Chain A
Amino acid sequence: MIQAVSDQKKRMHPHKFTMWVAIGSILMMFAGMTSAYIVKRSQAGWMMIEIPGIFWFSTLAILLSSATVYLSLRSLKQREMKAYRRWLGITAIFGVLFLALQIAGFKEFAERDIRIVGAGSNASYSFLVAISGLHGLHVLGGVVALVVMAIMAVRSSTRNYNTVPLEVVATYWHFVDLLWIYLFIFFNWMK
């Protein structure tokens, strides 16, 4: 019985577990995408990608947001509710900043007169926008989750110290961060 109690603390909450399985599932989607990219790249007519420099800044933004979501979770665990809400808000802002920088990066192509979609486009740039667009949608989902949590934290009349929802969201947030790092390295490596 003592064994059972001590194990209870170590065990993962089912919702967190579900998030990990979901992460595996999302990974499969991007694995499908990047494998398609590799297959397509080995065929004739592939145009080398020039990654816009602005992507370095979006990468920095999402890296910082991973740190702030960590700080938010730490504050919640220490029951410093003000700091928790502040870091949560900052994380969401970094998320929005990331998305804005990504969009700015794609605007750069238009200035350089590179077609991403439509007539005269090359599959390499289409892949870039399809894959990072899908990643962007996942970041957007995370931002929505963060905003919903922030609103609940401000509006709720009772103090709720349950860390599970934030742990789930933070896990997801670290995941979309790492996913972008993977994609960024992938695009730079497999131009």
Chain B
Amino acid sequence: MSTETVSHAHDATSTSHSHEEHGHDHHHEESFLTKYVFTTDHKMIGKQFLITGIIWAIIGGLFSVLFRLQLGYPDSTFPILEDLFGKWAAGGRISNEFYYALVTMHGTILVFFVLTAGLSGTFANILIPLQIGARDMASGFLNMLSYWFFFLASVVMFASLFIQTGPASGGWTIYPPLSALGQASEGSKLGMDFWLISMALFIVSSLLGGLNYISTILNLRTKGMSMTRMPLTMWAIFFTAVLGVLSFPVLLSGAVLLLFDRNLGTSFYLSEIVVKGEILPNEGGSAILFQHLFWFLGHPEVYIILLPAMGMVSEILSVNSRKPIFGYLAMVGSLFAIAILAFLVWAHHMFVTGLNPFLGAFFVLLTLLIAVPSAIKVFNWLTTLWKGNIRFTPGMLFAIGFVSLFISGGLTGIFLGNSTLDIHLHDTYFVVAHFHIVMGVASFFGMFAGVYHWFPKMYGRYLNNTMAYIHFWVTLIGAYLIFWPMHYSGLAGMPRRYTDWSNWQSFNQFQGMNSFISTVAMIVFAVQLLFVFNFFYSIFKGRKVQSENPWGANTLEWTTPINPGHGNWPGDIPEVHRWPYDYGKDGRDFIPQTEPIGANESKH
């Protein structure tokens, strides 16, 4: 990379600035409350996000097991469900309202609380200051607020699970008029208000976090850390934060108008409607308007989830192949292209809502264009692996698994991006299979890769390898066994969102396949619990990390002590002299970023 840009003025100032602010922080004693609860230390905040995310993932995953029980065994009864859920599972069968509540909350929890807050919240917090060489975030206080707004959002959403009429149940996209009218369904009553309040708090949390990530990355890089010397994780998290800061406010606008329609009798989204014989006074509203506002966030949200995983996977693949990342600038450029395109494709979620087909053609074109940067990334990941000296650590396995899932899930995106094919494929299991593989499971793999790779930095211990390998293989094989068959039934036209197909001649032929999927889903869920056990067990009993740099990596986080205090480096922040991917160069296994360029060093 650019060896000539050594003396970046802003880098010099950022170090001196951080010194005066944080240089004295790690001397005074901290109480339990300031160290673990109301902490401003980015590492602890990251762990708070991670553990809250894990708890939500267990809840969200459990919900999917419950509705898979219904889908897989529609004729059986499970009396224990009635014991647990009362009227929601009368006679041991999941009621229709309960089923819709389960899928809605499964989507909401996994998309927002786990894969947005739990994934980018965790790794942005833990990695940004450590990898760019800063003592902490630009504002530790805002950062703390970001977590506590997330916590409040979690409390409200969790409380909504226990109200009498149940949580929101109109799907995670909460389309009006269903979501706007309490008369329309049980889940559109109080549960929907809780959902909206919780999401408003969540958006505030996500914005506070995003602001901090952006200004930290742009302002607090250590001396020598030019933008093009940042690890790809930083680039990915930077673009993620930009996407979030620009798209979440639009969802907030949409949600505010929905709150008006629900509680103040306005007609933003509601046109002439009759519910159960009652003629509503609303007139002239447009339900499509909500979809535009929702998907203007909703589509970038997909990349908010995916980009951090891409960044971490790039880093982990390079470290464990002992090779420089292939095409660093192409990787940055493709992240940038994806971030731009993310804002220009939202209407591909609305091809069949009555969108003008002429307008649809532009969205088809822009949607298919995303295949270009995506293919560049896949090509670069594969060429990074090519002839590498691969170490199959658990983190590396999950990173390779991510690439596999991204390819197989991404290809079906090309099908769905066509507005003509979408007439047949929309709202079928083909869509379910596509987004679960490419967004859900792939991002989870990126997250697992990150947890396995940076766990030693977080807790000074390793996760147990045997459990990790079981976790990886069962999850990878299981994910494909769950979602591959869904493409098949989806192509046959099997619709989503139905609780039972047994009376439907065209689709009850898939019953055996559905039972199979449900069984695999339960096994995969059990293995995730094994991971959770491994995680908490290893925090206390894991094998201790003996050296500062256990993976032989170049980036700055591995120059801190094994258990870094608040402020990260006990002495001065190290200066950076090179890009982070000097692996296998001039006969040396790796050259850390802190090592000055040698006199006879070759260019990379």
Chain A residues within 8 Å of B, Cβ to Cβ: 1, 3-4, 7-8, 11-12, 14-15, 17-18, 21-22, 24-26, 28-33, 36, 39-40, 43-46, 117-123, 126-127, 130, 134
Contacts and interface: CB of A to CB of B under 8 A. Distances in A.
A40 B265 contact: no
Contacts of A123: 266-268, 284-285
A40 B257 CA distance: 13
Contact of A45 (B7, B138, B283): B283
A99 to B, nearest CB: 18
B211 A18 contact: yes
Specify the main secondary structure of chain A where it touches its partner.
helix
B265 A117 contact: yes
B212 interface: yes
A17 B283 contact: no
Given A18-B142, A118-B265, A123-B284, A26 B249 contact: yes
B265 A31 contact: no
B260 A32 contact: no
A122 B220 CA distance: 49
A112 B603 CA distance: 76
B245 A24 contact: yes
14 contacts: A8-B16, A12-B219, A14-B17, A14-B220, A15-B139, A18-B139, A21-B210, A24-B246, A25-B207, A26-B249, A36-B257, A43-B286, A123-B285, A126-B266
A39 to B, nearest CB: 6
Contacts of B245: 21, 24-25, 28
B281 A134 contact: no
B289 interface: yes
Q: Which of B10, B212, B284 has the most CB of A within 10 A?
A: B284
B179 interface: no
A130 B139 contact: no
> Which 3 residue pairs of A and B lie closest in terms of their CB atoms, listed nearest first?
A29-B249, A45-B284, A7-B9
A126 B267 contact: yes
Nearest to B212: A18
B266 A36 contact: no
Interface string B1-34: 0000001011011001100000000000000000
A4 B7 contact: yes
B293 A32 contact: yes
A14 B215 contact: yes
Given A3-B7, A18-B142, A36-B254, 13 more contacts: A7-B13, A11-B9, A11-B13, A14-B215, A14-B219, A21-B245, A29-B253, A32-B296, A33-B253, A39-B289, A118-B266, A126-B264, A130-B257
B218 interface: yes
A14 B250 contact: no
Contacts of B214: 18, 21
Given A14-B138, A14-B139, A28-B250, A117 B289 contact: no
Specify the main secondary structure of chain B where it touches its partner.
helix
A1 B293 CA distance: 49
B400 to A, nearest CB: 35
Nearest to A130: B260
B365 interface: no
A25 B13 contact: no
A165 to B, nearest CB: 12
A130 to B, nearest CB: 6
A4 B292 CA distance: 47
B470 to A, nearest CB: 43
A119 B281 contact: yes
A120 B289 CA distance: 20
B48 interface: no
B265 A119 contact: yes
Contact of B250 (A22, A29, A121): A29
B343 to A, nearest CB: 10
Interface string B201-226: 00000010011101110111000000
Nearest to B254: A32
Contacts of A32: 249-250, 252-254, 293, 296
Nearest to A26: B249
A36 B289 contact: yes
A43 B212 CA distance: 40
Given A8-B9, A117-B265, A39 B286 contact: yes
Contact of A130 (B9, B207, B249, B256): B256
Given A45-B283, A130-B260, A25 B265 contact: no
Contacts of B207: 22, 25
A121 B265 contact: yes
B247 interface: yes
Given A43-B284, A117-B260, A4 B13 contact: yes
B265 A28 contact: no
Interface string B257-283: 100100011111000000000000101
Contact of A118 (B210, B264, B285): B264
A36 B293 CA distance: 8
B300 to A, nearest CB: 11
Nearest to B12: A4
Contacts of A40: 268, 286, 289
Contact of B9 (A4, A18, A121): A4
Contact of B246 (A28, A46, A130): A28
A86 B45 CA distance: 39
